[in-house]
């Protein structure tokens, strides 16, 4: 009996020590085909919505702009505008709208995810409403 209890306690201690709460993780799909024949792709899809994220020197978000419009730093405002523009182009289920993100190089990555969250969808009453799931990064021009 005693040895069994010893082993059982050892097992218990092992499982208690290795126990870790797992936080659910999810993915955002980004499809970026290799850059090729830029002349052909220009006339195919409609213009993507360009979301530009500017950063201060320490990596904080300073402004979001959608196309030529400057929206400040509110992601809810970005979501509203994107939803409006998508509705103008035929509603969220039309797969034709693409969003192109152009963050500053030194912007903190969490703002990028926040922007992607804002344009991908919205959680209302525990349900997810999709807005746009075609997201890509704008090509960068390096000197």
The CA distance from 131 to 121, in Å, is: 5
3 near another protein (CB under 8 A): no
Q: Is 15 helix (H, G, I), strand (E, B) or coil?
A: helix
Name the minimum Å distance from CB 86 to another protein. Answer: 16
φ, ψ of residue 12 to 5 degrees: the values are -60, -45
Smallest separation (angstroms) from another protein to the CB of 73 = 15
| Interaction mask 31-70, another protein, x per CB under 8 A | xxxxx-----------------x-x---x-----------
65 closest CA partner among 74, 55, 52, 54:
52
Q: Which of 105, 102, 103, 107 is nearest to 56 (CA)?
A: 107
Query: Whose Cβ is closer to another protein: residue 20's or residue 88's?
Result: 20
Residues 100-129 that bind another protein (CB under 8 A): 103-114, 116-117, 120-121, 123, 128
By CB atoms closer than 10 A (0-12, 13-18, 19+), residue 100 is middle
- Contacts with another protein, residue ranges (CB under 8 A): 1, 4-5, 8-9, 11-12, 15-16, 18-35, 53, 55, 59, 103-114, 116-117, 120-121, 123, 128, 137, 140
């Amino acid at each position: 009996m005693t040895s069994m209890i010893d082993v059982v306690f050892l097992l218990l201690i092992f499982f208690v020590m290795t126990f870790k709460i797992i936080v659910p993780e999810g993915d955002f799909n980004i499809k970026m085909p290799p850059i090729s024949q830029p002349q052909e792709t220009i006339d195919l899809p409609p213009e993507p919505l360009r979301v530009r994220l500017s950063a201060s020197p320490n990596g904080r978000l300073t402004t979001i702009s959608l196309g030529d419009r400057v929206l400040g730093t509110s992601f809810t405002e970005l979501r509203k505008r994107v939803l409006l523009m998508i509705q103008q182009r035929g509603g969220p289920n039309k797969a034709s709208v693409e969003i192109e993100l152009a963050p500053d190089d030194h912007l903190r990555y969490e703002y990028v995810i926040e922007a992607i969250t804002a344009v991908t969808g919205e959680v209302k009453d525990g349900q997810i409403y999709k807005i746009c799931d075609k997201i890509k990064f704008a090509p960068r021009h390096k000197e």
